[in-house]
Structure 1
């Protein structure tokens, strides 16, 4: 008997949700992604009833392409979306284990040397080509992964804002940008500066 037998399959969990809440709905969105750096952060909101304006549960999944085997690398975004759904649905259904069988199978197969190689030091002054390591990203979403219905990504009237970084005149910049396509209707960005500790902080 494998230890994975103690974890529920994502498909089974989703089927159980629809049987329990046939008029519910599941919404997913990408809150942060950098294909060049090889990571994606996906949010999933689950509603027990279609008419509900507020979700019954929110959860997140972070995907890093470096931790996938060769056959799965091209599907790492889709796999991360599936993981977010499985976690959020489990939160609403009250599953005894938040991770799914797929989550745990991936953990079992990850090569620790790959994980260490993706956690190299990060220099915020290198500008838009900087790759933020997993070690810095995971603590930032730790509160969300506890299952508390909170959203760490700033939002505006047009939805979740998008994190953007770059460099101008030799100085790094960053902000959370409104995702509205029409610039005339965009909300003002939330600007960030690099603090004394080398981390981004809201500009005051």
Structure 2
């Protein structure tokens, strides 16, 4: 059994990754998180892109633990905000990880923006670093739009105000299995699956 470190402390991301690997029929990999390894100093996210941040996090994790590692950086890009919050999504309102404050700030910033100009996309970059192998960095994009008030409780971050293309429900109103198939993280993981399958075999 190969241990794979998902370089996050976010329990929801860990559950999501385990669920996606299981539904893809990938065995031989035990996914653990930063809560399962001795603490090490994590470099601040200073990259200009999701790819740079994800790659740096995965490299740090491998150096600190010696385990193969996957790291993600993801966020919301809003057309009317020139692609922001982008890499600043988790700390858009100032303090890191205050989902409600971040979401409300985006809603306030889009207050006067008409419905037809509320396009947005969730973006996820995943980096897989395995000692002795070439690093792999992939990107998944999930287009949609921002609605005017939060709806749904299944999800986190900006999920309650994001309606995916072709949907009437918000991301937070989708069932977990539905979301796994079509979300930005699901799309990025899809691109990583061949590499993860090789790792597990």
- Structure with higher Rg: it is 1
Give the structure, 1 or 2, with the largest relative contact order (CA under 8 Å, sep 6 or more): 2
Same fold (TM over 0.5): no
TM-score (norm 2): 0.29
TM-score (norm 1): 0.29
Q: Which has the higher helix share?
A: 2
